[in-house]
Chains A and B, each alone.
Chain A
Amino acid sequence: LAKTTQPISMDSYEGQEVNITCSHNNIATNDYITWYQQFPSQGPRFIIQGYKTKVTNEVASLFIPADRKSSTLSLPRVSLSDTAVYYCLVGDMGSGNTGKLIFGQGTTLQVKP
C-alpha cells in the first residue's frame, strides 16, 4: 500500500473553497485514491474515491493528475461544520484485498467564521 503525505493542518474561512493536496509518489497501477472525513469521537466517513482525472459528488471533488502521484480534495464553500480531520488513503480496492486501510495522520481543517 502506497504511503501518503498530506499537510498536518489547514485553516480556512466560511464560504471559501478549500483544497487539500495529498502526495503518493509510489502509487501502484491498481491503487485507488480515497478520502475520509472524521469528526471528534466519531468514526471516519467516506467522502470520495477516484482513480484518475476528476471525480465529483455532492460534497467534494477529487482531482488526480495524469501521473497520479498526487491528488487534491476540493471542498467548495466550506462551513463551520466542515471542521474535521481529512484522511487521504491509497490502496488496491480490487478483488482479494483484505479490507485493510492505511490511515496517516490526516489533515486537520479548521474553518473559522
Chain B
Amino acid sequence: DAGVTQSPTHLIKTRGQQVTLRCSPISGHKSVSWYQQVLGQGPQFIFQYYEKEERGRGNFPDRFSARQFPNYSSELNVNALLLGDSALYLCASSLWRNNEKLFFGSGTQLSVL
C-alpha cells in the first residue's frame, strides 16, 4: 500500500509569492494534518482536517490556509511568502479524527529567497 504522498518534494519561491502544497493520505484515512518543520526544530502543528472540515488550527497567520477534498486529499496554501516560511512542510494522515497514530509523508522542502 502507498504511504502518504506529498508533492512537490522541493520548491523554490521568492518573497511575496504564493505556494500550494499537495498531500494524498493513505487509502482509507479520513484525517489529514499539516506541520511546519524549521531546520533544527520539531514539527509545528498548522492544521487538521477531518471529513473535509477544519478541526484544529495552530498558531499560524491567516496567510496559511488549507482545504480537504472529497477524496480526502488536501492542499496547503501559503500567501505572501516570507523568508521565514522556508521549512519542511509535512503532511500526516490517520484513520480517524483522533491522533493515536499519525503517518507522515516525506514532506515538501520550501525555500523562499
> Which residues does A use to contact B, with CB under 8 Å?
32, 41-46, 49, 87, 91, 93-106
Contacts and interface: CB of A to CB of B under 8 A. Distances in A.
Contacts of A104: 42
Nearest to A105: B42
B45 A102 contact: yes
A101 B106 contact: no
B98 A97 contact: yes
Interface in B61-113: 88, 90-92, 94, 97-107, 109
B4 interface: yes
A interface majority secondary structure: loop
A91 B92 contact: no
B101 A99 contact: no
A41 B101 contact: no
Interface residues of B, number: 32
Given A97-B97, A99-B31, A42 B106 contact: yes
Contact of B4 (A41, A43, A93, A103): A43
Contacts of B55: 98-99
Contacts of A45: 104
A99 B41 contact: no
Given A41-B106, A41-B109, A46-B103, A100 B88 contact: no
B58 A100 contact: yes
Nearest to B33: A99
Given A99-B50, A99-B55, A49 B109 contact: no
A46 B102 contact: yes
Contact of A43 (B45, B98, B105): B105
B43 A99 contact: no
A44 B93 CA distance: 12
Given A99-B31, A100-B56, A105-B42, A93 B104 contact: no
B45 to A, nearest CB: 5
21 contacts: A32-B100, A42-B104, A43-B4, A43-B91, A43-B105, A44-B104, A45-B104, A46-B101, A93-B99, A93-B100, A97-B97, A97-B98, A98-B48, A98-B56, A99-B33, A99-B48, A99-B56, A101-B99, A101-B102, A103-B43, A105-B42
